[in-house]
Structure 1
Amino acid sequence: MGTVVGHSVCLAALMACLSASAAPVCEVMAVRGQASAAGRELAQGDKLDEGTVLKTGAQGRVRLRCGDGSTLVLGDNSSLTIEKFEVGPDDKRIAAKLLLETGLLGQKVAPSTAGSWEVRTPTAVTAVRGTEFVVEINNEQQTEVNVQSGQVDVEALLVPTRALHPRKPSRVSLDSPKAGTKCNQFTGCTESAAWSAERIKSTQDRLSFD
């Protein structure tokens, strides 16, 4: 009898752990235009799991709130995968990994002294602790990053080349408001430079719900 009870307790504990690990990691707060996940149109209140792939149409955008309090806005003509989002029992972020394959992503990352936040594109990877910034992968597969507050470290995902001329830096730190960079897989990233007010406004308009 004791063995049966013991097995039952272990099974219950295992099911509880599986249930906790499968808990949704983000919630849809607002949707405009066409926005879907797994071929299903998204609606306010939808819960999203790790592995979810979100897509938006020409006029689409979607705002998410994640388990650590961070918020995301996926702009028009975009594709985003929530590869990993791990939060501790105190709602503090442990690790977040996002893949932006196309389009524009705005982020307001909740501060965390230890938890990581990484956004990859086909040509670069960004890493932060807590900040507000945007990442865009354009039609030429160039990654553009702009920071509104805090600090963002950007690294180009370089492919081997036999070019005679030296490459641009493969890593850039954006640590001042309005600072931006553009990266590609052949030449690296441009030096940190401020975006114009017009450029910032145009980007923010694509992420606005007003």
Structure 2
Amino acid sequence: MKAEHCIARLCLVLVVAAGLPLSALAAAGRVQFAAGDVQMRRGAALAALASGASLDNGDTVLTGATGRAQLRFTDGGLVSLYPDSEFTVTRYVDSGDPAQDSFAVSFLRGSMRAITGLIGKRNPANYKLTTPTAVVGIRGSAYRAFFNPQGQLEVGGEQDEIEVCTHAGCVGLKVGESVLVLSSDRLAVYTNTQALLPLPTPGWPFAAGEQVRSDGSNAAVFLAPVPVVPTTPTPPGNGGTTPGGTTPGGTTPGGTTPGGTTPGGTTPGGTVPGGGTRPGGNGAGGVARPPIIRTPPVLLPPPILFRPPIPIIP
């Protein structure tokens, strides 16, 4: 009886598996690159994510303040996630049949850049990026999206065309165009400036890594920031005004005091008791004299006189 029960369960599993495309049983993709604080939430489990890990339906990739990741799907599509991002694979099916294919993902926060694969090329309607305020569809192959500090979604086209749809309708974007999504009930608004992904903060511990471009070649992730060398202010030259120039009252220290003159009747640097003069006659509060630089004379050697030879007449 127990053997018959096991056989029945096995037959049920085979029947269910036979009705599913092979791609539905395989991984959706893998983590091609991960650096910094990157985690994956699979069901109730949350664990650190490393390069080479598989990516399945329902998985959520989370990047922290120093995290960055690149995901490669089985159809050749690429998704690059920047710091403080949350990306979920909602439904992914790569069957080779446009009637069954699906690339449905959600993007809740952060910044990302995507290059579509064969699923989007076979049928653009099968590709959807869902956000809290809009749905991004494609007619082409590359775009970028991020949430600005105000929490508003900005989307820009990089190759061919894409469309950004809200409850109010859809807006098409060509290469170089960008839109701002203010709310889910309003049409996306074209912006005058191209949407730029936020730049990483200098000092993050990223170096040249194994990130891969769309053509399969390796690319650097971050280069070490160039150290900033502090500069020392140049002191004022000899021709500038020395400290203690004109006081708020308009006279130099040692000049005319509020009640009269300084002892001796002259400012420092003038006549001193005994009839001499003080070096630096302009006083401590005057303008310093530039130093006298004596250049030694240049002695030229005596000229060489050329006398033509006297011809000898035979």
| Same fold, judged at TM 0.5 (above) | yes
Structure 1 residue 31 corresponds to structure 2 residue 34: yes
Structure 2 length as normaliser, TM-score? 0.53
Q: Which residue of 2 aligns with 1:179?
A: 177
- Equivalent residue for 2:221? 209
Whole-Å separation in 2 of the counterparts to 1:69 and 1:91? 16
Q: Which amino acid aligns with 2:189?
A: T
Residue type of the alignment partner of 1:60: G
In 2, Cα distance between equivalents of 1:41 and 1:107 = 23
Q: What's 1:113 paired with?
A: 122
Counterpart-to-counterpart distance in 2, 1:92 and 1:65: 22
Unpaired runs of at least 5, structure 2: 201-210, 212-219, 223-314
Once superposed, what is the RMSD of the aligned Cα atoms?
3.0
C-alpha deviation, 1:105, in angstroms: 1.3
Q: Can you list the C-alpha shifts for 1:12-44, whole angstroms capped at 9, x where unaligned?
A: 343465694342102000011111012211111
- For this pair of structures, how many residues does the alignment match? 189
Residue 97 of structure 1 pairs with residue 104 of structure 2 = yes
- Counterpart of 2:161 in structure 1 is 151
SS in 2 for 1:14: helix
CA drift of 1:119 comes to 0.7
SS in 2 for 1:12: helix
1:132: which partner in 2?
Answer: 142
Q: Which amino acid letter does the alignment assign opposite residue 128 of structure 1? A: I
Distance 1:72 1:83 in 2: 14
Q: Which has the higher helix share?
A: 1
Equivalent position of 1:61 in the other structure: 68
- State the alpha-carbon separation in 2 of the partners of residues 69 and 100 from structure 1: 19
Q: Between the two proteins, what is the percent identity of the paired residues?
A: 21
TM-score, normalization by structure 1:
0.77
Q: Matched residue of 2:164: which SS?
A: strand
Q: Distance in 2 between matches of 1:74 and 1:114?
A: 24
The one of the two structures with greater contact order (alpha-carbon pairs below 8 A, sep at least 6) is: 1
Stretches of structure 1 lacking an aligned partner (at least 5 in a row): 159-169
How many angstroms does 1:140 deviate by?
Answer: 2.5
Q: Which amino acid aligns with 1:178?
A: G
